[in-house]
Amino acid sequence: MAVLTLASARAAGLRKDEVYRMARSGELERIGRGVYARAGELDPAVAPLSGATALKPSATMCLTSALVHHGLSDEIPHATDIALPRGTRFPAGFDHVTWHAFAPETFEVGRVTMPEHPDLTMYSAERSVVDAFRTAHLEGIDQANEALRRWVRRPGSSPAELLRTAGRFPRTVTAIRHALQVLL
């Protein structure tokens, strides 16, 4: 296992002080409070998500981080955006994570396994574009429009699929439909 929690270490026969000693010696890297990985073993791009998933299996890469992963944005996020269902307690001690609480009734919409990391999840390109429009009041409409522009240029992109996903978030449909009309 790439990520070690104190609970999984205990189950493997390691004491807490042994885990702390391994972290001090550089054998383990601390990802978050009570979450470690073998030094150099974890892809830094997904280390926070791996650590969060070890504690909360529903942890899902979202928003700007997901847009960047899908090649729909050139932004360099200062932290990994990770969503959990609203009402779930966020894990403590993660330095480079921005936590987001998404409604439980739509949390699974567009949630997919990352092809290169089958134990991790993120939101699909379509859901990520919809989320960019949903959060345009926070992130700015330019990010949403640029993500949509790049998504439309991708081979295999289906405006019908995007609108189907947007239909689960009714307030986004009009804005996305209008932007699609301009682009197409």
pLDDT band at 183 (very low <50, low <70, confident <90, very high): confident
**What is the 3 state secondary structure string of 56-116?**
CCCCEECHHHHHHHCCCCCCCCCCEEEEEECCCCCCCCCCCEEEEEECCCCCCCCEEEECC
pLDDT for residue 176 is more than 90? yes
Provide the whole-model pTM: 0.91
Of the given ranges (27-41, 48-62, 78-92, 144-158), which has the lowest mean pLDDT?
27-41
Residues 26 and 74 in one domain: no
Residues 6 and 65 in one domain: no
Residues 114 and 23 in one domain: no
Residues 12 and 98 in one domain: no
Residues 25 and 112 in one domain: no
Domain containing 178: what range?
44-183
Residues 140 and 165 in one domain: yes
Q: What is the CATH number of the domain that holds 69?
A: 3.30.460
Residues 94 and 170 in one domain: yes
Closest CA to 80 of 101, 95, 70, 102: 95
pLDDT band at 1 (very low <50, low <70, confident <90, very high): low
Residues 95 and 113 in one domain: yes
Residues 124 and 101 in one domain: yes
- Average pLDDT estimate for 70-95: 94
Residues 27 and 63 in one domain: no
Residues 150 and 167 in one domain: yes
pLDDT at position 141, please?
94
Residues 143 and 90 in one domain: yes
- Cβ burial of 24 (10 Å; 0-12, 13-18, 19+) is exposed
pLDDT tens digit sequence for 96-140: 999 999 999 999 999 999 999 999 999 999 999 999 999 999 888
pLDDT for residue 182 is more than 80? yes
Number of domains in the chain: 2
Length of the chain: 184
Averaged confidence pLDDT in the chain: 94
